[in-house]
Amino acid sequence: MSQTLSPIAPDLWTDEPSPRLIGGRLPSGRIVFPMPTGDAAIDVDVYPLSRTGKLWSWTRQDFKPKEPYTGPEAFEPYLLGYVELPNEVIVETRIVDAKLEDLKLGMAMEFVVAPFNDHQSTFAFRPETSS
């Protein structure tokens, strides 16, 4: 990416070299994503989520979503999935840097910030790469 794209929504991920999604810890101890806002955020602690998890389920979005979709005008199918973050929460997410046929139940996934349209970025997960 040659330019910095603004996030699709504020406070979705941390501003650190290896960003993490921002969830919330409820008074009960339950972890949620996204972090609640407004009155729903009372007594909820900010909780940066794990950068890695396991693929729980997935599919391919083959048609342009209905309004208020703000993605690229020239629609291209994309992968969607649920990634289970250990002892935290299951996140619905885009999956990038993978093909449908390469995805496997329980495969290791890692968080990334990915382009969404010409002006915005979003969160996604991709198959974990070796360090």
pLDDT digits (tens, 9 = 90+) for 31-79: 999 999 889 889 999 999 999 999 999 999 999 888 888 777 788 899 9
- Asked if residue 1 is part of any domain, the answer here is no
pLDDT more than 90, % of the chain:
70
Cβ proximity of 60 and 100 under 8 Å: yes
- Asked if residue 28 is part of any domain, the answer here is yes
- Report helix, strand or coil for 113: strand
- Asked if residue 26 is part of any domain, the answer here is yes
- Asked if residue 96 is part of any domain, the answer here is yes
Q: Total domain count for the chain?
A: 1
- Asked if residue 64 is part of any domain, the answer here is yes
Domain, as residue range, for 52: 6-127
CA 99 → CA 60, 74, 117, distances in Å?
Answer: 9, 20, 20
